[in-house]
Amino acid sequence: MVSKPQVRFTLGKQSSLAPDTVSCSDSDSDDGLEAIDPRVRLMFFSSEGDLEGIKKLLDSGTDVNFKDIDNRTALHVAACQGFTDVAELLLERGAEIDPQDKWGSTPLADAIHYKNHGVVKLLEKHGAKHLATPMHVNNAREIPEYEIDAKELDFTNSVDITKGTFAIASWRGTQVAVKKLGDELFTDEEKVRAFRDELDLFQKIRHPNVVQFLGAVTQSSPMMIVIEYLPKGDLRAFLKRKGALKTITALKYALDIARGMSYLHENKPEPIIHRDLEPSNILRDDSGHLKVADFGVSELLKGTHAAKHEKPMSHQDTTWRYVAPEVFRNEDYDTKVDVFSFALILQEMIEGCQPFVTMNERDVPKLYAAKERPPFKAPSKSYAHGLKELIEECWHENPERRPPFRQIIVRLESIYNSIDRKKHWKVQRFRCFRMMGMCKGEDSDTSTNNRSSWI
């Protein structure tokens, strides 16, 4: 029996991994064989979305898994063209879910490439596997140094942390925080770009007051970012339990935040704006110090002067209660947006409540834009000399009037040392009075004894 010769199906959109993926016309077909070969007619009908034609061919015994000379199947074709109903019919009739063409592309990879989201969801529902992530490399030498094998991450006892963004996992015997990127990342170029940006930022950061980046999973799905896990939780939860902090404690925490932010803002060659600085994104380590975390909406300021940026933020990106008015108004902004947020956090640590806590969060930015600021209600003694003035400068309406973190650190240290000296002086005075009291007591006892000896 003479077997039918292999043919190449050249109509419609081609494989996502082929050297040339442009659409072809009928004139590109090999020798007219497609017109009479039912197997190729199956692929043609799949490219045209002809359900009735496909059903007749399959009912007559045409192989649903026929592969042309490039190892492409009818399911490949339907995925490229975006015909969800055709793909569903082919799967119902026994089409293989993950066939690979000669370039290694699967129907799912083709559907993702051509942004055919309906087909993507259908294939995933039927168990199609993502063979490569958006950051997949073909040469093992190109795998990033920070790459972590996903099999090393154990999520057996995983729980969500940090607003649900991160989850706890075990990695090489150590608890870590892991941020997973969903499968929608494969079809959303903006999310891919944001993931790359976040990785770029993490690789640049090395500071004791900034959460430590440990590695990432980029060569398999789901992609993940792995950072150190700080079991004491975030500043938001701590303030909720403790309420208003002692001034000395608030200053210590403020210095931790300011040092971490100063490091980010003075990053070379481009400053890093956090853009979402608020208590939930500040974590506590075992030693009681704070670390700045969550750089999901952070960015580098581009350009030689790194002066302004125009990227708008949505309510989903951040907590509006801590956002500077220029961001709310979608105006140009720079690193000073973080200084504004810092002022609100510092005041919150002393007052013991969130900024404008009784108001709806969405309405708070309107108050900031109208030059309103949270009132100072704590006792005057809670605000050491110069502290209230510093807060007011940091949340100034004009960003240029807000001091940089390098200056904020100097002023905070001065206030902290002033309180510490007073505290030390009080302790020393107490000890002195105590010693004097003990001495007086001893003199009294001695006099009594001496008087007894005279009698």
Active site residues: 276
CB of 80 closer than 8 Å to CB of 16:
yes
Please provide the DSSP assignment of 240-257 as one string.
HHH-SPPHHHHHHHHHHH
Q: Token pair for residue 304?
A: 């030689």
Buried b (16+ CB within 10 A) or exposed e, 291-329: bbbbbbbbbbbeeeebeebeeebeeeebbbbbbbbbbbe
CB of 277 closer than 8 Å to CB of 229:
no
| Omega before residue 269 within 30° of 0, cis | yes
Residue with tokens 């490949």: 76
Q: Following CA atoms 417, 422, 425, 429 in sequence, which dihedral angle do they give, to the nearest 10 degrees?
A: -170
Residue with tokens 């993940």: 224
What CA–CA distance (Å, rounded) separates 293 from 310?
A: 23
For the CA atoms of the chain, what is the radius of gyration?
33
What CA–CA distance (Å, rounded) separates 25 from 300?
A: 46
Distances (CA, A) of 43 to 6, 12, 73, 263: 13, 10, 7, 58
What CA–CA distance (Å, rounded) separates 430 from 344?
A: 36
Diameter over CA atoms, the chain: 141
Q: DSSP character for 210?
A: B
Q: Following CA atoms 443, 448, 449, 451 in sequence, which dihedral angle do they give, to the nearest 10 degrees?
A: 120
